[in-house]
């Protein structure tokens, strides 16, 4: 417990006092290196799984987009303007 009154003496005549107040965290928990690394690895795995899920849901590889009616492209009808 570092709380208390500390005295610093320089030589025989100089004396300074320092009072230290220390407040402990009431709702804090200690986390060791293994716990932090586990949290980081779980976060990376969850992010990778989410990315794979989004990639699968978006419909990759379903072929090319249709060209619309009459085989014209998107800008094919602007020739008459």
Q: Is residue 80 part of a domain?
A: no
Q: Is residue 81 part of a domain?
A: no
Share of the chain above pLDDT 70, in %: 70
Helix (H, G, I), strand (E, B) or coil at 76: helix
Average pLDDT score over the chain: 78
Q: Is residue 79 part of a domain?
A: no
Split at pLDDT 50, 70, 90, the class of 54 is very high
Query: Containing domain of residue 41, as a range?
Result: 3-57
* Tally of structural domains, the chain: 1
Q: Is residue 77 part of a domain?
A: no
Question: Regarding predicted confidence, which is higher, 28 or 46?
Answer: 46
Question: Regarding predicted confidence, which is higher, 22 or 32?
Answer: 32
> Which alpha helices (H) appear in 3-81, and where do they start and end?
33-57
Q: Is residue 68 part of a domain?
A: no
């Amino acid at each position: 417990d570092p709380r208390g009154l500390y005295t610093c003496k320089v030589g025989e005549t100089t004396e300074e006092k320092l009072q230290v107040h220390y407040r402990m965290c009431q709702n804090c928990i200690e986390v060791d290196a293994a716990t932090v690394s586990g949290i980081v690895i779980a976060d990376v795995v969850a992010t990778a799984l989410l990315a794979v899920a989004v990639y699968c849901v978006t419909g990759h590889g379903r072929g090319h987009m249709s060209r619309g009616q009459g085989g014209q492209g998107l800008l094919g009808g602007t020739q008459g303007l």
